[in-house]
Structure 1
């Protein structure tokens, strides 16, 4: 892998889903910031699909970060107002230097 330190130019937050209870005792899922780090974000593909009179778009991206622990696939990555679901985590060359996060983002949900 080509050295990517200079390409880590996007500041992102790693968010961990947590469960809390509101005043009525109902469970609510919240996203709690675990770390703010620098990353490289590369679009991989985009696809549109039609479902029940809705047009849905999904964008797939590869996010490269320095190696950190712990990071789990149910966490999400926030970049500005965008939120990416982590689909898989790859420890590039198993060298504990960089992680490649393959992520998806649902965007542009429209209905009639």
Structure 2
């Protein structure tokens, strides 16, 4: 059983959902709705990890490592500064409820 090394979680992220919210004018617009804020390690996938991801027809670009938090699921979104990532896979590392790996695709051109 390995413990999460706190020092490696050095990036502040926000996990949430993109939902259609009705505006005062009656129109619906997509808005980010926060679910969880936490410290994380955000890093691009290595060449071998990208190759493995391509074998399952995925365009994964990054892995985000966080402490375990229940309820995080694929299709949620991660905000990291001005960058946005879509969660494709959620892995409870060693099924110990201590650390999670979130395999993600960076959304390019999103403001």
Task: Give the TM-score band, short-chain normalised.
Answer: 0.7 to 0.9
Long gaps (5+) in structure 1: 48-57
Greater percentage in helix: 2
Question: Where in structure 2 are the equivalents of 1:18-97 lying within 5 Å?
Answer: 18-44=19-45, 60-97=61-98
Greater percentage in strand: 1
Long gaps (5+) in structure 2: 51-58
Cα distance in 2 for partners of 1:44, 1:71 equals 20
> Residue 59 of structure 1: CA displacement?
6.9
Cα distance in 2 for partners of 1:77, 1:102 equals 11
Q: Which has the larger radius of gyration?
A: 1
Cα pair 2:60 2:103 within 8 Å, conserved: no
Equivalenced residue count is: 99
Secondary structure class of the residue paired with 1:69: coil
